[in-house]
Structure 1
Amino acid sequence: MNNTIGLWHGEGQERAVLLSDDRWEVLPPEAAVDSEPWPILPWARWQALVENGELSPRHAGVMLDPDEDPEVLTPWVGQLPLIALQFPGFMDGRAYSQASLLRTRLGYEGDLRALGDVLRDQLVLMRHCGFSSFCVRADKPAAEAIKGLSGFDQIYARSVASPEPLFRRRERR
């Protein structure tokens, strides 16, 4: 996917990078599932292919719509390389809750990707909810949006990215 930002962890720090070699691609419903590019499939199609033995859960990403319960992925959560969550519009924040549930309650550790109406101003909150990659809206440059992750990043409450509230983090210093 073009216009994708990912979080890179190394040397004791986290930084955002442009994923110029990202091979994941959301496939249209009728497209054949192949290993190139790496497919991201809607939940219903992914489930049918996996349950029929036509697809390994390790070889494709799954995409949930905002009204789908992330707990449907419980049997496969340790095998999935990528889960994509949809932001159909700027004012629809249901994917924030889905991301938090996947990371905290279900313990998902793979790539959690934001798709759809993803804008610079949302990236910090998305990261705090557990997203690890962001497919920025096509009409916005990812190089500009990446700055949204380096601006104000301190939140006061606990989150997936910062499990302790700010006052506890300050006490440790």
Structure 2
Amino acid sequence: MNNIIGLVNGGGVYLADDQWTFVDDEVWVTKSRPMILPLDQWQKLDESGTGVRSIHGVWLGPDDDPAVLGPISGELPIIALQFPSFRDGRAYSQANLLRTRYGFKGDLRAIGDVLRDQLALMRHCGFTSFAIRADKCVSDALKGFDGYDMIYARSATTPEPLYRRYNRGHQLATPTEEER
């Protein structure tokens, strides 16, 4: 993966030196380099009790249940969620569940058919890094963070809906009895 964008201080930046190696087939897994492994391969790692699983991340396909990672999500450095097609939005739900229900705090990466138009919504669902499709320009994709930042509903990154944020802002601006 070389087209990686990450969020730094709320804005997107190109991550030229991304440490993660994406694995989509059976490979010899070692402690020498951090990898993002398919769920079934990652689950088999610690059967030997070597502890090698703790330095690797896992990726979930659209049919994988994020509840499998719920109890151990705090131990994972990265979870990648696959978008097999830009029309397939199941990873948005998986991301929201991992952030809100299971309390995952690590790097949440979007992989697969990831395009510029999806980035703003992905950020609100809790994604923090994005593997842009190989045939797309990273500098162009970075522009996907420029617009559509304010959303009305609550999200993984903004737990209060807009009307509550708006009302709270106006309540703070209303003069108190003493100020009148």
TM-score, scaled to structure 2:
0.89
Q: Percent identity?
A: 58
Following superposition, the deviation at residue 36 of structure 1 comes to 4.4
Gaps of 5+ in 2: 170-180
- Secondary structure of 2:74's aligned partner: coil
Q: Which residue, out of 122, 129, 149, partners 2:118? A: 122
Contact 2:5 2:12 (C-alpha < 8 Å) held by counterparts: yes
- Secondary structure of 1:115's aligned partner: strand
State how far apart, in whole Å, the 2-side matches of 1:43 and 1:99 are. Answer: 15
Following superposition, the deviation at residue 55 of structure 1 comes to 4.2
Contact 1:113 1:131 (C-alpha < 8 Å) held by counterparts: yes
Residue 6 of structure 1 corresponds to 6
Residue 47 of structure 1 corresponds to 43
For these two proteins, the number of residue pairs brought into alignment is 169
Residue 102 of structure 2 corresponds to 106
Residues 128-147 of structure 1: pairs in structure 2 closer than 5 A: 128-147=124-143
Q: CA RMSD in A?
A: 1.3
**Aligned in 2, Cα 1:75/1:53: closer, same or farther, shift over 3 Å?**
farther
TM-score, scaled to structure 1:
0.92
Contact 1:121 1:148 (C-alpha < 8 Å) held by counterparts: yes
State how far apart, in whole Å, the 1-side matches of 2:7 and 2:120 are. Answer: 12
Q: Which moved more, 1:55-64 or 1:102-111?
A: 55-64
Cα deviation per residue 1:9-50 (whole Å; 9 max; x = unaligned)?
3xxxx2111111101111242321134442010000100112
Following superposition, the deviation at residue 57 of structure 1 comes to 3.5
- Secondary structure of 1:77's aligned partner: helix
Q: Which residue, out of 30, 34, 40, partners 2:30? A: 34
Runs of 4+ aligned residues of structure 1 deviating over 4 Å after TM superposition are none
User: Quick check: which one's strand share is greater?
Assistant: 1
